[in-house]
Amino acid sequence: MKTIRSVLIVEDEPLVAFDNEHALEQAGYHVAATVEDYDHAVSVIEDDEVDIVIADIALHGDKTGIDVARHAHARGLPVLFVTGACPVDAVGMAVGCLSKPYLPRDLIAAINIIEARLDGIEPTHLPTGLRLFGQSEGGSNDQLS
């Protein structure tokens, strides 16, 4: 049984958001919502059953994807950043970072790897551009290849 079923996409680039939504739905995930700013993201996190948040860093408005991640992390939700440059302080609030540009299959693979990791299974291979933040390594941000 899947641990991750429902996904919140926080992305302010319409084409990227659409591609992510399409890829996730094709892979059998429920997209709870696709939003482009902090306020809408928080509203969905509070009101919906969301299993993971996929967030870009740069968003419309004053708050960023980092602010979304802090809120989601405080509620016990895993966060995967999808961004051009992973923020230095992401280790404390996200499970990993997928570098843009990425292929839809890499996004799906990243979610599968995060799901396996939540179930206690460490991955042996990561898709291109994915960086996981270690829980057992004391916050190390080693990348497997």
Residue 47 has pLDDT above 80, yes or no: yes
Q: pLDDT class for 138, splitting at 50, 70, 90?
A: very low
Q: Residue 141's pLDDT is what? A: 36
Q: Is 140 or 3 the better-scoring residue by pLDDT?
A: 3
| Number of neighbouring beta carbons within 10 Å of residue 123 | 16
CA distance 122 to 79: 17
The CATH number corresponding to 6-132 among 3.10.290.10, 3.40.190.10, 3.40.50.2300, 3.90.1150.10 equals 3.40.50.2300
Q: Side chain identity at 116, as an amino acid letter?
A: A
Residue 123 has pLDDT above 90, yes or no: no
- pTM, entire model: 0.89
